[in-house]
Amino acid sequence: MRRDGRVVWSGQFDRDQIVLGRSPQSDVVLDDVKVSWTHAVVWRAPDGSLSFADRSSNGSFLNGRRVIDTVSLGGAGVVAIKPFELDVSIHNVAQHPKTVHIPGDTTPNAFRPAHVRFVRGPAALVGRTFALGEKKNLVGRSEDCEVWLDFPSISRRHASIYPAGDGGWIVEDTGSRNGVVVEGKRVEAARIKAGDQVGFGSEIVAMLETAGGDSRDGQDNGSFTFSFGPSRLDTRIDVAHVAGHVDSRTSLALQDHFTKAIGTATRFLVVDLLRFSSCDQSGFAVFIGVDMTLRRRGGALHLVALGDDVLATYRSLRLDTVLSVRADEAAAVAELSALLKRL
């Protein structure tokens, strides 16, 4: 097994079939985000030759061509499972090893915060943004999707968007009825970058925007992403998701996002900081300003899902008497809903 031309593992198995993938249960664990959970299977056919079956999203390649379903390797073959290259052959083996774990890229995580902003579709959707996390982000009509699109043309689990591991992103059709379109072409899976337009069916189109990226409309949040919309638990209450980090250089941009989002109508707001890595005094000053605006309207703001570092800053600034913090969105919405009933 090679990576970037360097041998990272060499060994033998005495079984007739081995499974390769990112799953810890695989015979050969390929620990890289571009490798699927169960990526491929290699087995010895009845005639003694080797067969290779691809089960992945990103593909396996034999002689530069993508493997479609199953191919015969004969007695030996070299298959690329990017970023790895597998050299497999038949030998007489006396002992089989334990599961083999092959590490992925050992360089720092290349994840960059990103979001999708909808540029075409129903009026209620256009302009809305959804933050994307480091794991697989589901797009669909089902309420458990990270990008929740409750529209008839959207399948329950329409697509997924996830990091490619090198700062890029991948969008994948997850068996939708109306398909996924990238830059005008229908795809099963495709790599996307900041500024690319992705269609979920033909009616709804989003643009990928990355923090510090080069999206076509010139927006640049520097180090955070922002999304805003009604809570699924109570549509009278809005929820803002902020991911990444905010400091004195980007706090004005965050303030601008909140000013535009809450407009003159929002009264009750939950700010979800689950994917928020750090925030200094200037960032918390933005939250205080939003809270004051909502209080003047007779509303309220709750911060939820604060990570350890953000919570430590919150406590060091002694903001417990200034900003309300709750465990999660459900707890915050339940409290605000009860408040609305009393009004």
Residue-level pLDDT at 173: 92
Name the strand (E) or helix (H) holding 325: strand 324-326
Q: pTM of the prediction?
A: 0.44
Query: Hey, how many other C-beta atoms are within 10 angstroms of the C-beta on 343?
Result: 7
CB within 8 Å of 20: residues ≥ 6 apart: 26, 27, 28, 30, 35, 39, 40, 41, 42, 81, 86
Beta bridge partners of 148: 140
So what's the pLDDT on residue 211?
56
pLDDT along the chain (343 residues), means of 10: 73 75 78 79 78 82 81 81 81 43 47 78 80 85 88 94 80 92 87 87 86 39 73 88 80 82 88 86 87 91 91 88 91 93 83
Q: Angle CA(225)–CA(231)–CA(234) in degrees, nearest 5?
A: 165
Structure tokens at 172: 């994948």
What per-residue confidence (pLDDT) applies to 47?
74
In angstroms, rounded to a whole number, what is the distance separating the alpha carbons of residues 246 and 281? Answer: 9
At residue 160, the pLDDT reads: 93
CA 50, 52, 53 angle in degrees (round to 5)? 150
Angle at 6 between CA 4 and CA 10, to 5 degrees: 125
Residue type present at position 328: D
